[in-house]
Chains A and B, each alone.
Chain A
Amino acid sequence: MLTILFDGIAYGMVLFVLGCGLSVTMGLMNFVNLAHGAFAMLGGYVAVQAMQRLGVPFLASLPLAFLAAALVGVVLERLIYRPMYGKSHLDQVMFSIGLVFMAVAGTDWLMGSTQQFMHLPPWLQGRFEVAGIGIGRYRLFVIAICGLLAVSLQWGFTRTRFGSRLRAAVDDARVARGLGIPVNRLFALTFALGCGLAGLGGALGIELMGLDPSFPLKFMIYFLIVVTVGGTSSITGPFFAAMLLGVADVIGKYLVPEIGAFIIYALMVVLLITRPHGLFARVRA
Chain B
Amino acid sequence: MTHRRTVLGGMLGLALAASTSGYALAQEAVKIGLILPMTGPFASTGKQIDAAVKLFLAREGAVHGGRKLEVILKDDAGNADATRRLAQELVVNDKVAVLAGFGLTPLAMATAQIATQAKVPEIVMAAATASITEASPYIVRTSFTLPQASEPMADWAAKNGIRKVFTVVTDYGPGIDAETSFAGRFKQAGGTVESVRVPLRNPDFAPFLQRVSEAKPDALFVFVPSGVGAQFMKQFVERGLDKAGVKLIGPGDVVDDDILEGIGDVALGTITTHHYSAAHDSPANKEFVAAFQKANAGMRPNFMAVGGYDGMKLVAKALEATKGDSSGDKLIAAMKGASWESVRGPVKIDPETRDIIQNIYVRKTQKVGSELHNVEFETIKDVKDPVKARK
A–B contact via C-beta, under 8 angstroms: yes
How far is B238's CA from A126's CA once the two chains are assembled, in angstroms?
5
Q: Is A275 an interface residue (CB 8 A)?
A: no
Q: Is A138 an interface residue (CB 8 A)?
A: yes
A252-264 CB mask vs B (1 if < 8 Å, else 0) is 1110011011000
Query: Which residues of chain A have C-beta atoms less than 8 A from B340's C-beta?
Result: none
Interface contact B39-A125, CB-CB below 8 Å? no
Q: Is B198 an interface residue (CB 8 A)?
A: yes
Query: Which residues of chain A have C-beta atoms less than 8 A from B237's C-beta?
Result: 125-126
Interface contact A7-B197, CB-CB below 8 Å? no
Given contacts A108-B43, A210-B228, A210-B231, contact A250 B204 (CB under 8 A): yes
Query: Which residues of chain B have C-beta atoms less than 8 A from A105's C-beta?
Result: 39
Interface contact B207-A136, CB-CB below 8 Å? no
Given contacts A4-B210, A136-B238, A257-B208, contact A115 B227 (CB under 8 A): yes
Q: Is B22 an interface residue (CB 8 A)?
A: no
Query: Which residues of chain A have C-beta atoms less than 8 A from B264's C-beta?
Result: 117, 119
A172-214 CB mask vs B (1 if < 8 Å, else 0) is 0000000000000000000000000000000000011110101
Query: Which residues of chain B have C-beta atoms less than 8 A from A126's C-beta?
Result: 237-238, 240, 243
Contact of A253 among B207, B230, B238 (CB under 8 A): B207
How far is B51's CA from A113's CA once the two chains are assembled, in angstroms?
14
Q: Is B196 an interface residue (CB 8 A)?
A: yes
Contact of A260 among B202, B228, B258 (CB under 8 A): B202
Interface contact A117-B206, CB-CB below 8 Å? no
The residue in chain B whose Cβ has the minimal distance to the Cβ of A250 is B207
Query: Which residues of chain B have C-beta atoms less than 8 A from A3's C-beta?
Result: 210
How far is B299's CA from A208's CA once the two chains are assembled, in angstroms?
26
Interface contact B40-A207, CB-CB below 8 Å? no
Query: Which residues of chain A have C-beta atoms less than 8 A from B208's C-beta?
Result: 253-254, 257
How far is B231's CA from A117's CA once the two chains are assembled, in angstroms?
8
Interface contact B230-A254, CB-CB below 8 Å? no
How far is B203's CA from A265's CA once the two chains are assembled, in angstroms?
14
The residue in chain B whose Cβ has the minimal distance to the Cβ of A119 is B264
How far is B237's CA from A11's CA once the two chains are assembled, in angstroms?
18
Most buried by A among B40, B208, B238: B238
Interface contact A257-B230, CB-CB below 8 Å? no
B41 nearest CB across to chain A (Å): 5
B15-52 CB mask vs A (1 if < 8 Å, else 0) is 00000000000000000000000011101100100000
Interface contact A251-B263, CB-CB below 8 Å? no
Contact of B47 among A11, A113, A251, A252 (CB under 8 A): A113
Interface contact B210-A254, CB-CB below 8 Å? yes
Given contacts A105-B39, A114-B227, A117-B264, contact A257 B211 (CB under 8 A): yes
Interface contact B239-A113, CB-CB below 8 Å? no
Q: Is B234 an interface residue (CB 8 A)?
A: yes
A123-145 CB mask vs B (1 if < 8 Å, else 0) is 00111000000101010000000
Interface contact A257-B207, CB-CB below 8 Å? yes
Q: Is B245 an interface residue (CB 8 A)?
A: no
Q: Is B162 an interface residue (CB 8 A)?
A: no
Q: Is A240 an interface residue (CB 8 A)?
A: no
Interface contact A250-B239, CB-CB below 8 Å? no
Interface contact A134-B44, CB-CB below 8 Å? no
How far is B37's CA from A108's CA once the two chains are assembled, in angstroms?
13
A18 nearest CB across to chain B (Å): 11
Interface contact B227-A108, CB-CB below 8 Å? no
Interface contact A261-B199, CB-CB below 8 Å? yes
Q: Is B259 an interface residue (CB 8 A)?
A: yes
Find residues 198-253 in chain B having any chain A CB closer than 8 Å to their own CB.
198-199, 201-204, 206-208, 210-211, 213, 227-228, 230-231, 234, 237-240, 243
Q: Is B262 an interface residue (CB 8 A)?
A: yes
Contact of B227 among A127, A212, A261 (CB under 8 A): A212
How far is B263's CA from A208's CA once the two chains are assembled, in angstroms?
14
Interface contact B259-A115, CB-CB below 8 Å? yes
Q: Is A30 an interface residue (CB 8 A)?
A: no
Find residues 92-127 in chain B having any chain A CB closer than 8 Å to their own CB.
none
Interface contact B47-A249, CB-CB below 8 Å? no
Interface contact B199-A11, CB-CB below 8 Å? no
Interface contact B258-A114, CB-CB below 8 Å? yes
Interface contact A209-B210, CB-CB below 8 Å? no
Query: Which residues of chain B have C-beta atoms less than 8 A from A222's C-beta?
Result: 203
How far is B86's CA from A105's CA once the two chains are assembled, in angstroms?
21
Query: Which residues of chain B have C-beta atoms less than 8 A from A209's C-beta?
Result: 203-204, 231
Given contacts A7-B207, A125-B238, contact A115 B231 (CB under 8 A): yes
How far is B243's CA from A125's CA once the two chains are assembled, in angstroms?
13
How far is B382's CA from A49's CA once the two chains are assembled, in angstroms?
43
Interface contact A218-B211, CB-CB below 8 Å? no
A29-43 CB mask vs B (1 if < 8 Å, else 0) is 000000000000000
How far is B243's CA from A136's CA once the two chains are assembled, in angstroms?
14
A265 nearest CB across to chain B (Å): 11
Interface contact A127-B203, CB-CB below 8 Å? no
Q: Is A154 an interface residue (CB 8 A)?
A: no
The 6 A-B pairs at the shortest CB distance, nearest first, are namely: A254-B207, A113-B43, A261-B199, A253-B207, A7-B206, A117-B262
Could you list 4 further interchain pairs (A-B, Cβ under 8 angstroms) beyond the known A253-B208, A257-B207? A127-B240, A208-B206, A257-B196, A261-B201
